[in-house]
Amino acid sequence: MSIAERFMNRYSNPWKGGKAGRQAAILTLMLALALPASAKVETDKVYDPVSPTVEQARANILIARQLQFTHFRDMSINDSLSGDVFDAYLEYLDGQRIYLTKKDIENFSAVRMGLGSALKTGQLQPGFDIYNLVQQRIIQRLEFALSLIDKGVGNLNFEAEESILLDRSEADWEADTDALDALWVKRLKNAVLAQRLNGTDDEAIEEALRRRYEGQLKRVYQARSEDAFQAYMNAFAGMWDPHTSYFSPRTSENFNINMSLSLEGIGAVLQSDNEYTKVVRLVPGGPAAKQGQLEPADRIVSVKQEDEEKAVNVIGWRLDEVVDLIRGPRESTVTLEVIPADAPDETVTETIAIKRDNVKLEEQSASKEVIKFDRNNETFQIGVIHIPTFYADFKAMQEGDPNYKSTTRDVRKLIDELKAEGVDGVVMDLRNNGGGALHEANDLVGLFIEKGPTVQIRNSNNDVQVLNDEDPSVAYDGPLVVLVNRMSASASEIFAGAIQDYGRGLVVGSQTFGKGTVQAVRPLNHGQLKITQSKFYRVSGGSTQHKGVIPDIEIPSRVDKTRIGEDALDHALPWDQIEAVPHTRYFDFSGVIDELRTRHDNRFKDHPEFQLLKKEIEFLKQQREQTTVSLNLEDRKEYQSQIESTRLSIANARREIHGGEPFDTLDELDEWQDQQAADLDSTDEELDFIVHEGGNIMADMLELDQRMASIMNLKQITAQAQAR
């Protein structure tokens, strides 16, 4: 069938759709001129281009209306937005710029500014044609890579002084197919080198890479209309903010409002990241969090079931299919091959075995401990309360169970127990707490203040709702420190921000995530739309969005803020502020904060754990700044040796601090870590030094408070004596 015939079949009368229909028809014809009738490469298989359905077109129109009229961000669909949607769509389809050529991009130039009008009226074909072209280019690239493997990886030259760019997201598009061929030769060399240096022989390398590329090919040939539609709609919806997204009917079945796309089995929240599936966060109390090796920003390469010999490569897979593969019966083990978040390049992977289980509410519960500090012949007892998430047993609550579990109820009990033990101060540990039930954050603030506002919520109409603590009782009125880090988000930020605004306690740690928006899920005729409808503001008026909560005393973190956090996300809503609401200021720390910071700095100056943390942060920073990697075997060996040596030295330094024997090799370290991770009942006897520092800061506050009290008492006695 000719291009013209295919075009006429697609649009029997495109002009009756008005201006938008004519634009879409012209764009489609222009794209058709760049598309072969089918993608037939060195195989008997033929790629069958996907086409939009009537239901998808209707859903597209509904999505466009919802975005324009109900999203918090007031934004129109215009030519400027068209260009941004086009760029985001290409970023999703070919984010590393390894499939399309500069000529392909030039052929898209006429399409770039017309997508907006088409998206307003459900004209989806231009987006589908872009998708189909990219899929065909992917097939061509994968077939080329397989042809190189067929010739034998031993024929590749690893003696030349070559290097490869690790992140191509900002690179120029390659000029033509020949340039792409040269790039893919380098990509293959990089993959082979990484496995050779791990001790894998060439035959096993060829088998593994062939399996990877053939698996990706299989996924491309199985492309569905819904794949193109979901990718296109998410590029479109993502223009408003990164938390607004479209869920296909199948994805909607897996969606849980409290825990988007969390996996039944390992307890991890995942999202698509170009051709990879990326870990967003771990569910507190879940198997992955307890196992301890999987980390946010890790990317999943393959998944292996315990009863299978070979892993299934999932690069290029749909998110819902990766979810299905990782799910499984309780007590069974799934093994994930991941690219660690701090890996120097995509060829560095590690294998993590996780035993599937249900996430139990009691394992997410708040817990406590007491630590003691000796200062000037006086001992201070500091209570520490760890809160992994803001939870509530809604089912038990609705059934009228008087003993239902919730964050606030559990913390109140822990506070009573700590008070009975005679603690002098309390440290609330909200590190890695990604949020949860909003009303629990509101109620938790109420345990530490008398009646008053806790958070403001503004919608797209600028209407502001103020949540209040209506209970005048206070569970704890003593000194308070709140620990946070980059993974503290949403409800955690509301609590920390309120405590800071009320002057009720000090916030210690690193800048929080900055998730200050509220989403709602709206049903469509086809799937669902998760849309941002409101924004959180502190009682002082500043938003928690984008900026998060800035600690009063900062402690550096290993987390790369340029990759994790709201301000690292494209199109994130900005920080702003509204009017403050009247609230009590319990204490003004301005008179003591400088002294507290000085004491903290002096303690950390020679603290072995902190010095080690700084070394790790610098090591990770150097790796992130490495933009290229050598393809010369000897140079690569030296580079890997340096990385392994640094890893081993850091691990042994930590072992020495805790009185352990040093590891002789990296293999020995990895084996020990696997054993520790496999023993889910094991506990770390050493107190987390960040928690310990939170206690030290509390002890400083108590000492300074006593000093100030003594000064005030002395002044009072002097004044009385003078009065006589």
Least confident of 97-111, 336-350, 484-498: 336-350
Least confident of 34-48, 215-229, 251-265, 656-670: 251-265
Q: Which of 260, 490, 534, 630 is catalytic?
A: 490
Percent of the chain with pLDDT over 90: 57
Q: Which of 501, 552, 560, 700 is catalytic?
A: 501
Distance from the Cα of residue 51 to its chain's centroid: 32
- Cα–Cα dist 547/493, whole Å: 10
Q: What angle do CA 368, 372, 375 make, to 5 degrees?
A: 150
H/E element holding 457?
A: strand 452-459
Q: Is the pLDDT of residue 162 over 90?
A: yes
| CATH (residue range 245-355) | 2.30.42.10
CB neighbourhood size of 534 (10 A): 19
Q: Is the pLDDT of residue 330 over 60?
A: yes
**117 has catalytic annotation:** no
**560 has catalytic annotation:** no
Q: Is the pLDDT of residue 717 over 80?
A: no
- Model confidence band, residue 324 (pLDDT cutoffs 50, 70, 90): confident
Least confident of 130-144, 396-410, 492-506, 626-640: 396-410
Least confident of 148-162, 541-555, 636-650: 636-650
Higher-confidence residue of 722 and 164: namely 164
Give every CB contact of residue 634 below 8 A, 6+ residues apart in sequence: none
- Cα–Cα dist 237/248, whole Å: 13
What is the model's pLDDT at position 88?
A: 95
Q: Is the pLDDT of residue 258 over 50?
A: no
| Residue carrying structure tokens 């044609």 | 129
pLDDT (tens digit per residue) in 357-403: 876 655 678 999 999 998 888 899 999 999 999 988 777 778 888 88
**670 has catalytic annotation:** no
Higher-confidence residue of 4 and 414: namely 414
Q: What is the mean pLDDT of residues 672-676?
A: 71
- Cα–Cα dist 80/91, whole Å: 17
Give every CB contact of residue 233 below 8 A, 6+ residues apart in sequence: 59, 60, 63, 246
- Cα–Cα dist 372/706, whole Å: 17
Q: Which of 355, 515, 535, 547 is catalytic?
A: 515
Mean pLDDT of the chain: 86
Q: Enumerate the domain spans of the chain.
A: 3-237, 245-355, 361-523+533-588
pTM of the model: 0.84
- Cα–Cα dist 513/511, whole Å: 7
pLDDT (tens digit per residue) in 596-637: 999 999 999 889 989 898 998 898 888 888 899 999 999 999
φ/ψ (deg, to 5) at 104: -60, -45
Strands 378-386 and 367-375: antiparallel
What is the topology classification, in CATH, of domain 361-523+533-588?
2-enoyl-CoA Hydratase; Chain A, domain 1 (3.90.226)
φ/ψ (deg, to 5) at 464: -115, 125
Q: What is the mean pLDDT of residues 313-339?
A: 86
In the numeric block, which tokens belong to residue 688?
């987390």
- Model confidence band, residue 253 (pLDDT cutoffs 50, 70, 90): low
Handedness of CA 548, 271, 254, 87 (dihedral sign): positive
Which DSSP string do the residues of 498-554 spell out, in sequence order? HHHHTTSSEEEES------EEEEEEE-SSSEEEEEEEEEE-TTSBB-TTT----SEE
